Structure 1
Amino acid sequence: MRISRTRTATGLVISALALGTLPAWAAPAETVAPTAPRHASHAPAHQAAHHAADTVRHIPLQGAVNVRDVGGYRTYDGERVAYGRVFRADALGKLTDADLGTLAGLGLKKVIDFRVAAEVQYDGADRLPAGASPVSRPITDNGLFTQLLTAIGSKDPVKQEEMLGNGRAAAFMREVYRTFVTDSVNRAQFAATLRDIADSRSPLLYHCTAGKDRTGWTTYLLLRLVGVPDRTAVGDYLASNTYRAAYDARLREALKQGGFMQNPDLIIPLQEVRTDYLGTALDEAAKRYGGLQGYLTKGLGLDAGTILKLRESLVG
């Protein structure tokens, strides 16, 4: 479909506004006040399709806990990100047959896996419904997965404290986020995923192991690119803590009961998403590229055409 010059200009303005800047030729525009997202109930996906503005659409599954539709959020100009186009998730290797039936109903054609080889080997390859093509696109976790297994596997409370205590686990997570900006391979993988979304006319899903860090950063970038206010995009990012809370608490209890950790709370900073983790990546983007827009255009190499295709594909 031919995009009119007016709509092209509007799309560029909205996307630029979401990133905190405007093209030199654009006059300041009145914006819709951002609102924080409300967490959706764990209702079946078909019941969640028409939730009110700025909700998080969670898709309850038995074998994964953090599967969500990226749609439903309001943009600065009052439009809404379309439901049923892009999905985010945690690992899909433990899906049940019933889960596969649920995912089949989404019409997925491509599933992008950000996990590195060690994660896939440990957790298993994705189970996918018929018609969904897997794409391996590893983004380094900076050794997070190995770090976690090493600490837990040692069963040594002193070593675990040395590795994870006194703020070290949180500091490690900040370094993971810094590599989202500094590592050229990571940048290429994020860029390829955003281009896939822009070019796709079929539903697409991307995921990592927990669906919170690599997946969370990708979703934050995507929402900002299509004109979703920062506050709302951050809300989507933080929602992983809600959907993972029960599962993560059970894991900590199992580690304690199994004699692996005397103090399993040491891994909480590794299990959670936090605004200072996201802030670390954004600060690095500002340091290296002058801000988020510079990171997207220079660091990821996204041009105006790709950004426009993202908005045309996902907003309306």
Structure 2
Amino acid sequence: MRNGLRIAAVVFAAAGLMTPVGAQGAPAVPSTPTHGAHRPSAARVVPVPGTVNARDVGGYRTVDGKTTRWGVLYRTESLSNLPPDGVTALAGLGLGSAIDLRTAPEIQADGPDRLPAGVTTVPLAMDDNSLFAFIGQVVRSKDPAYQQAQLGDGKAAARMRGLYRGFVTNPANRAALGTAIKHVAATPLPVLFHCSAGKDRTGVLADTILRAVGVPASTSEGDYLLSNELRAATDKALRDQVKAAGYMENPDLLIPLQRVETAYLKAFRNQAVASYGSFGKFLSKGLGIDASTILQLRTKRVM
């Protein structure tokens, strides 16, 4: 799983297998953008063929009674394997830019984003703490005892917690997070951001943005955990294929890497406070986000 980690891409690229197709297809989104418009909560999941974890970050209430705007900020998984109708669906969102949080090895393995004409890629790699290489190596070993030793007995979850702490302690990761937030604050056009699975790096960026504009931490956590529901069928298909291909006798060892967990998000949040004293100081001192940037962010992304 890389970081943000579409495990499918890591395992299958590393092992020379095919990445499983999403569990269910999706119709194209309407061709008319709805920038800032109110939309029903059922519209949170954005139907982009070729994805299973594409969503609108609108509709969340802030502590001062406002609401994040629909149709101006989106989070997804990798866009490197979109079919033509998936690209058409993205075009209907009216995007100005797409922030890609993947590392160079991930992009090399999975391919660059497939985006509509006129959408600018903003590359802001966040380090994966060597998970991309590690998981590929463990799966390719085909050694059940070695796989158990590396991933079993809570070791996989511990690696994930370490990954999330690294989003704070790694200066390059803080720089990428800060630059991404400044970009979202500065541009008036709809923005999309993604990593590989759209759950870890994407989840941390979404959590930071939502909390920065005043969405309660518990509400933001709910957005983060939604990845488990949306990715469940695809992740199960991956495990089934890894076992069928003879790479793992116990593919359930991958589950802690495929899922998001409250404990992972807490590792990120707690490290931010431990390193900087508070979430606000993490924003200002850790990410370089000043009050004027927060005001810009709220003006463009909250109604």
Please indicate, yes or no, whether the TM-score normalized by the shorter chain is above 0.5: yes
Tell me how far 1:77 sits from its aligned partner: 2.0
SS in 2 for 1:146: helix
Corresponding residue of 2:156: 169
**2:302 corresponds to:** 315
The separation in 1 between residues aligned to 2:214 and 2:257, in whole angstroms, is 30
CA distance in 1, matches of 2:29, 2:64: 27
CA distance in 1, matches of 2:234, 2:91: 24
Contact 1:248 1:271 in 2 (8 A): yes
> In 2, Cα distance between the equivalents of 1:69 and 1:142?
28
Instruction: Show the counterpart of 1:179.
Output: 166
Cα offsets for 1:223-278 (capped at 9, x unmatched): 01111111110000000101111100000000011111000000100001000001
Q: Matched residue pairs, number?
A: 274
Is 1:296 aligned with 2:255? no
How far residue 285 of structure 1 moved from its aligned partner, in angstroms, is: 1.1
Partner of residue 237 from structure 1, selected from 224, 235, 239: 224
Q: CA deviation at 1:43?
A: 7.8
- Secondary structure of 1:180's partner? helix
| CA distance in structure 2 between the partners assigned to 1:108 and 1:211 by the alignment | 18
Q: What residue in structure 1 maps to residue 144 of structure 2?
A: 157
C-alpha spacing 1:233/1:43, structure 2 compared with 1 (3 Å): farther
Q: In 2, are the aligned partners of 1:73 and 1:81 still within 8 Å (CA)?
A: yes
Q: Residue 277 in 1 paired to residue 243 in 2?
A: no
RMSD over aligned CA atoms reads 1.7
TM-score (norm 2): 0.87
Amino acid at match of 1:256: K
Secondary structure at the aligned position of 1:101 is classed as helix
After superposition, give the CA deviation of every residue in 1:54-109 in whole Å (9 maximum; x if it has no partner).
x6711123312111111111111221111111111100011010111100001111
Larger Rg: 1
Q: Does 1:141 align with 2:128?
A: yes
Distance 1:309 1:50 in 2: 20
- Note the 1:207-286 alignment, pairs <5 A: 207-286=194-273
Conserved 8 A contact 2:100-2:194: yes
In structure 2, stretches of 5+ residues that fail to align are: 1-25
Asked whether the 8 Å contact 1:56–1:236 carries over to 2, the reply is no
Deviations 1:13-70 (A, max 9, x none): xxxxxxxxxxxxxxxxxxxxxxxxxxxxx786459974446x6711123312111111
State the SS of the aligned residue for 2:294: helix
Between the aligned partners of 2:115 and 2:29, the Cα distance in structure 1 is 17
